[in-house]
Amino acid sequence: MAKKHVIVAFPASVISDTPHLREKTAKIGYIGRAAAIFKVSELIVYADNPKVNQRKDIELIVTWLNYMDTPQYLRKRLFELKPELQFAGVLPPLRTPHHPLRCSLRDLKVGDYREGVVISKNKEGALVDVGIERPVLLHNSQFEVNKRLTLKVVKIGETVEVQNVDRAEVPHYWGFTVGVENRSFRALLENPRFDLVVGTSKFAVSFQETVQPLHERWVKAKTVLLLFGSPTQGLFEIAKAEHLNIHDYVDFMVNTLPDQGTETVRTEEAVIATLAIFNMYFGF
């Protein structure tokens, strides 16, 4: 069965109502952790307020999510010490297959996949750090130093040899990528790569009322986009600010938390609740 790519998109304003950097970091940590639990392929941060420059918030969110997806043994190579990572310790570990707890040569097997970073080049190719006692050899010198790669172990001996692969080739879940749509909400909605677009809102019909037609579309779709708003501005409001009728752009609008007991549901709460429901009914 071909992999289904589930993509979650949420607005940059998700951290705008949280004053302290520690709490902002933790909020994004919940979203990244939920994405990993339910094997989300990609997280997209989109600009949702045309009246405000959201570049700084988008950069913060992207940095935190990329940091989360990076195996611990590569983080010092790929991330400098900078203020936005001051509270990176509150980001929960993903514990996904590409974040192995054991990082030793004796644990390595031919056919294993690893994330690595090119640390130098020689006449044979590139030397890559994959988190074991010594660098491995990639017979390919086209990649620059500090380039992160997904690799497959092809030989174990005096020298461990690997080949670079597309992460889509890995037969099990291999974390999420991080995308940005900083032009507008409309630009995200008009992206043609999504086979199915589902928006979430407390003003939409209950998920139970749409489960059958949604399931019929779900099983046929290869790439699914799940859209989320922010606690202060839902998808209907975000679309209205850009003079859009959201029903013209999405296939379904659903309420996955009907009869909620709170005035608002935080985006990170809506993400994990919605993914849990979709996973139970449709499977990822």
CATH number of domain containing 209: 3.40.1280.10
H or E, element range at 258: none
Say how many domains are in the chain. Answer: 2
- One domain for residues 206 and 109: no
- From 167, 196, 220, give the residue that closes a domain: 167
Task: Tell me: pLDDT of 1 over 70.
Answer: no
Amino acid at 72: Q
Amino acid at 24: K
Amino acid at 276: A
Residue with tokens 């707890």: 101
Q: What pLDDT does 103 receive?
A: 80
Phi-psi map region of 269: left, alpha, beta (phi>0 left; psi -120 to 50 alpha): alpha
Task: Tell me: pLDDT of 131 over 60.
Answer: yes
What's the pTM? 0.94
Q: What pLDDT does 35 receive?
A: 98
Domain of 27, in residue numbers = 5-95+182-281
The SS3 call for residue 171 is coil
- One domain for residues 80 and 220: yes
CB 127 within 8 A of CB 137: yes
In a domain, 160, yes or no: yes
- One domain for residues 42 and 81: yes
In a domain, 173, yes or no: no
In a domain, 188, yes or no: yes
Q: What is the DSSP letter of 123?
A: T
Q: Which residues contact 173 (CB under 8 A, 6 or more apart)?
A: 36, 39, 96, 97
Task: Tell me: pLDDT of 67 over 60.
Answer: yes
Task: Provide, rounded to the nearest whole percent, the portion of the chain with pLDDT above 70.
Answer: 99
pLDDT in tens, 7-18: 999 999 999 888
CB 116 within 8 A of CB 129: yes
- One domain for residues 187 and 240: yes
- One domain for residues 150 and 264: no
- One domain for residues 89 and 188: yes
In a domain, 112, yes or no: yes
- One domain for residues 196 and 245: yes
In a domain, 257, yes or no: yes
Task: Provide, rounded to the nearest whole percent, the portion of the chain with pLDDT above 90.
Answer: 86
